[in-house]
Amino acid sequence: MPEPTVRPGHLEGLLHVLPAPIHDERGFFVRTLDAASLRAAGVDPVTFVQENQSRSRRGTLRGIHFRRALSEGKLVRCARGSVYEVVIDLRPWSSTFLQQEAVVLDDERHEQLFVPPGCGHGFQVTSESADVCYKHDAAYQPELETGIAWDDPDLAIAWPIGDPILSPRDRVQPTLAEVKPLLGTWFGDVRPEERGGVAAGR
């Protein structure tokens, strides 16, 4: 079976993982985790400690979510349906600080994204419903969870569907202007390897 292709994204440390699904009259078969390919790209799959799955209906928007610490990478895929996924680089030391990258994840191409620590992400469902699966390399710590408003004017994300379905939490997320002064405290002002920490982006 062909190995997945892993290529860097526009954002520093972001990876696009493109499996090679096999289709026939029965349906398809796809390898959703390939340790060797990830390891060659700098991600140790052994560090994944949990996998979560969400199901959402069309128009639902989840995000922008991230952790107030440089301590959680995620491997994200859409197992059913399609979503518009957006990643924001929130690391002050990154060459792509405050830039964003968007991609459609779906159950046809089976593309996955590795979202490095210090990046926020969110998605909006563009199919009738969608199942999104996330592998995490750090245990859930609710006290570290935070986010940025989905409609923040400084980010100006071009979400595909207006008037999204939101959780109570996502209706009251802070703006980027409110969060920005805290990013250096959360993620550091210099690269982790320059201060003796973990490598940037893993």
Residue 199: partners with Cβ closer than 8 Å, 6 or more residues away: 42, 192, 193
Query: Does the annotation count 121 as an active-site position?
Result: no
The helix or strand, by DSSP H or E, that contains position 170, with its residue range, turns out to be helix 168-171
- Indicate which residue of 84, 110, 121, 134 is catalytic: 134
Query: Does the annotation count 10 as an active-site position?
Result: no
- Is residue 102 within 8 Å of residue 84, measured between CB atoms? yes
Q: H helices then E strands: how many in the chain?
A: 4, 13
Amino acid (one-letter) located at 6:
V
- Indicate which residue of 16, 65, 121, 136 is catalytic: 65
Cα separation, 93 vs 95, in Å, equals: 7
Which of the residues are catalytic? 65, 134
